[in-house]
Amino acid sequence: QEGVFSGFKARYSFEVAKSIYGDCGSNVSSSDYGIIMSPNFPLNYEGPTRGMASKTCNWYVNVRPNHKILLNFEFFAVEGDPTSRGCPAAVVRLWNTVGAPDSSVPIELCGEKPPTDKWQYMADSNHLRISFISADKSVGANGFKAVWTEIADPSGPCNEFRCTKSQFCIADKLRCNKVNNCGADDYSDEENCVVAEQMDWVLNGVLGGVSCSVF
């Protein structure tokens, strides 16, 4: 019969109010870089506790004015497939400009990143919000590991370290910290570091073997 429809079925639940960070997460500021990982990484993340609809982690990253935030996913394996069935069980959401009029439309990520793929994102400002949500239908996966780095405004001069390939300008002290801060496929901030480490070892060894007498 025309005009007759089957209606709808919905489920609701009462949950305890959470902080802006959700079940985990934090506010990150006053730093040049950081590493954000899904809960339990590299082991599987878990879904919400029984009776809860979802589990949420919110990270708020803030860097200095006139800087932006580079986010590079080194590993990513989250349930779902954005090209077919979507991300109903778990999802990572990126708000490139927190508080902007269009900040309510995040980038949504799920699926698995092949080792050779480059997954990196540049925030539009010096603020970035990263959310990880797992629903009650989640069965778990390895999750993700991401490195965020403070990048000087590309339109200005670089008074610190200029990455060779990406041309990003990062803090000098990030060189040789055993973390890739120049972005995907650019390891120039970790090059020519072995010599310095060997020299430190030699100097420590030489000085450690010298006995001194005070008269």
Q: What is the CATH number of the domain that holds 47?
A: 2.60.120.290
Residue 210 lies in a domain: no
Q: What is the DSSP string of 45-87?
A: P--PPTT-SEEEEEEEEE--TTEEEEEEEEEEEES-BTTTTBS
Predicted pLDDT at 213? 39
C-alpha distances in Å from residue 44, one per residue of 38, 134, 164: 9, 12, 35
Predicted pLDDT at 4? 74
Residue 137 lies in a domain: yes
**Cα separation, 86 vs 83, whole angstroms:** 6
Q: Copy the structure tokens of residue 3.
A: 């005009």
**Whose CA is closest to 131, among 98, 100, 101, 102?**
98
Residue 140 lies in a domain: yes
Residue 88, preceding peptide bond in cis (omega within 30° of 0):
no
77 Cα distance to chain centroid: 13
Predicted pLDDT at 99? 52
Residue 31 lies in a domain: yes
**Overall number of domains in the chain:** 1
Query: In a 3-state reduction of DSSP, which class is residue 199?
Result: helix
Residue 106 lies in a domain: yes
Residue segments in the chain with a per-residue pLDDT below the cut of 70 = 1-2, 12-18, 97-104, 195-215
Please write the tens of the pLDDT for every residue from 132-170: 999 988 999 999 999 999 999 888 899 999 999 999 999
Supply the pTM of this predicted model: 0.79
Q: What is the DSSP string of 16-53?
A: ----TTBTEEEEE-S-SEEEEE-TTTTSPP--PPTT-S
Predicted pLDDT at 33? 96
Residue 4 lies in a domain: no
Identify the domain containing residue 129 by its residue range: 26-174
Residue 118 lies in a domain: yes
**Whose CA is closest to 96, among 59, 77, 122?**
122
Residue 72 lies in a domain: yes
Predicted pLDDT at 212? 36
Dihedral through CA 153, CA 154, CA 156, CA 158, nearest 10? 90
